[in-house]
Structure 1
Amino acid sequence: MSPIRTRKISPRVAIIGTGFSGIAAAIALKKKGIEDFVIFERADGLGGTWRHNRYPGAEVDLESHIYSFSYERYDWTRTHAGWSELLGYLEHVAGKWGLYPHMRFNEAVNEVTWSDERRDYVVATSSGKDHGRFTSVISAVGFLNTPLVPPFVRDEHDFEGPICHTSEWVDGLDMTDKSIGVLGTGSSAVQVIAEAEKVGSEVKVFQIEPNWLLPKNAHDFTSLERKLNRFAPVYFWRRLKLYADYDMRQHFTGHAREDGRSNRNRRRASIEFLHRELADRPDLIELATPKFAFEGRRTVTSDTYYSSLKSPKVTLVPHAVKGLSRSGAIDENGDEHQLDMIVLATGFDAANYLGTYKVRGEGGVDLHESWNREPDAFLGMMVPGFPNFFIMFGPNTNAIPLVTFYEAQANFAAGSISRAAKKCATKVEVRRSAFLIYNDWLQSRLSRTVWAKTTSYFRGGTGKIISQWPFSASSYVLATKLLRRLVVKVS
Structure 2
Amino acid sequence: MVEVESGSQGRKLRFVIIGAGMAGVLAGIKCKERGEEFTIYEKGDKVGGTWRENHYPGLACDTPAHTYSYSFAHNPDWSSYFAPGPEIREYFQAMADRYGVSEHIVFNAEIAECRWQEGRWHIRTKDGRSDVADVIVAATGVLHHPKIADIPGLNSFAGPYFHSARWDHSVEIDGKKIGVIGTGSTGVQIVSALCKRAGKLVHFQRSPQWIMPSTNPPYSEAQRAAFRADPTLIDAERNAPEALARRARFTAAIIDKDSPELAEIEAIVAKNLQDSVADPALRAKLTPNYRAACKRMVFSGDYYRSVQESTVYIETGAIDHVEPSGIRMKDGTFHELDVIALATGFHADRFVRPMTVIGENGEDLSDFWSERPRAYFAVTVPHFPNFFLLNGPTGPVGNFSLTDIAERQWEYSDQLLNLVREGKAQAIAPSMEALLDYETRRKAAAMNTVFASGCSSWYLDSEGVPQVWPWSYPYFLDVMANPRFEDYQLIGAADDDGDDEKKSSAAG
- Give the TM-score normalised by structure 2: 0.90
Q: Which residue in 1 is equivalent to 2:414?
A: 414
Q: Deviations over 1:410-453 (max 9, x none)?
A: 22223323431222522111122221111211111111122123
Q: Deviations over 1:283-320 (max 9, x none)?
A: 11101011012211101111111111100000000024
| Aligned CA-pair RMSD | 1.8
Contact 1:401/1:473 (8 A) holds in 2: no
Q: Which residue in 2 is equivalent to 1:294?
A: 292
Q: Which residue in 1 is equivalent to 2:130?
A: 130
Q: CA deviation at 1:336?
A: 1.8
Q: Structure 1's 332 and 114: CA in aligned 2 closer, same or farther, altered over 3 A?
A: farther
1:384 matched to 2:382: yes
Contact 2:416/2:483 (8 A) holds in 1: no
**What secondary structure sits across from 2:470 in the alignment?**
coil
**What secondary structure sits across from 1:483 in the alignment?**
coil
1:216-235 aligned at under 5 Å gives the runs 216-230=214-228, 231-235=230-234
1:430 matched to 2:430: yes
Q: Which runs of 5+ in 2 are unaligned?
A: 1-9, 494-508
Q: Structure 1's 39 and 72: CA in aligned 2 closer, same or farther, altered over 3 A?
A: same
**What secondary structure sits across from 1:479 in the alignment?**
helix
**What secondary structure sits across from 1:462 in the alignment?**
coil
Aligned mates of 1:15, 1:88 — CA distance in 2: 20
Equivalent position amino acid for 1:89 in 2? Y
Aligned mates of 2:204, 2:387 — CA distance in 1: 41
Q: CA deviation at 1:137?
A: 0.5
Aligned mates of 2:136, 2:435 — CA distance in 1: 19
Q: Which residue in 1 is equivalent to 2:56?
A: 55
Q: Which residue in 1 is equivalent to 2:457?
A: 456
Q: CA deviation at 1:47?
A: 0.3
Equivalent position amino acid for 1:194 in 2? S
Q: Which residue in 1 is equivalent to 2:7?
A: none
Aligned mates of 2:431, 2:227 — CA distance in 1: 45
1:112 matched to 2:111: no
Q: Which residue in 1 is equivalent to 2:500?
A: none
1:103-182 aligned at under 5 Å gives the runs 103-115=105-117, 118-131=118-131, 133-152=132-151, 157-182=155-180
Q: Deviations over 1:118-146 (max 9, x none)?
A: 11111111220122x11110101112111
Aligned mates of 1:39, 1:244 — CA distance in 2: 34
Q: CA deviation at 1:244?
A: 2.3
Equivalent position amino acid for 1:345 in 2? A
1:191-206 aligned at under 5 Å gives the runs 191-206=189-204
Q: Which runs of 5+ in 1 are unaligned?
A: 1-7
1:224-263 aligned at under 5 Å gives the runs 224-230=222-228, 231-241=230-240, 244-250=244-250, 253-263=252-262
Q: Which residue in 2 is equivalent to 1:349?
A: 347
1:273-284 aligned at under 5 Å gives the runs 273-278=272-277, 280-284=278-282
How many aligned residue pairs are there? Answer: 476
**What secondary structure sits across from 2:383 in the alignment?**
coil
Q: Which residue in 1 is equivalent to 2:26?
A: 24
Aligned mates of 1:473, 1:324 — CA distance in 2: 45
**What secondary structure sits across from 1:72 in the alignment?**
coil
**What secondary structure sits across from 1:151 in the alignment?**
coil
Q: Which residue in 1 is equivalent to 2:505?
A: none
Contact 1:405/1:473 (8 A) holds in 2: no
Contact 2:210/2:297 (8 A) holds in 1: yes
Q: Which residue in 2 is equivalent to 1:481?
A: 481
Equivalent position amino acid for 1:61 in 2? D
Contact 2:254/2:451 (8 A) holds in 1: no
Q: CA deviation at 1:486?
A: 3.7
Contact 1:161/1:327 (8 A) holds in 2: yes
1:96 matched to 2:94: no
> Once structures 1 and 2 are overlaid, which stretch shifts more, 181-190 or 478-487?
478-487
The percent identity for this pair of structures is: 28
Aligned mates of 2:194, 2:457 — CA distance in 1: 26
- Give the TM-score normalised by structure 1: 0.93
Runs of 4+ aligned residues of structure 1 deviating over 4 Å after TM superposition are: none
Which structure exhibits the higher relative contact order, with contacts defined as CA atoms closer than 8 Å and separated by 6 or more residues? 1
Q: CA deviation at 1:276?
A: 0.7
> Once structures 1 and 2 are overlaid, which stretch shifts more, 167-176 or 342-351?
167-176
1:329 matched to 2:338: no
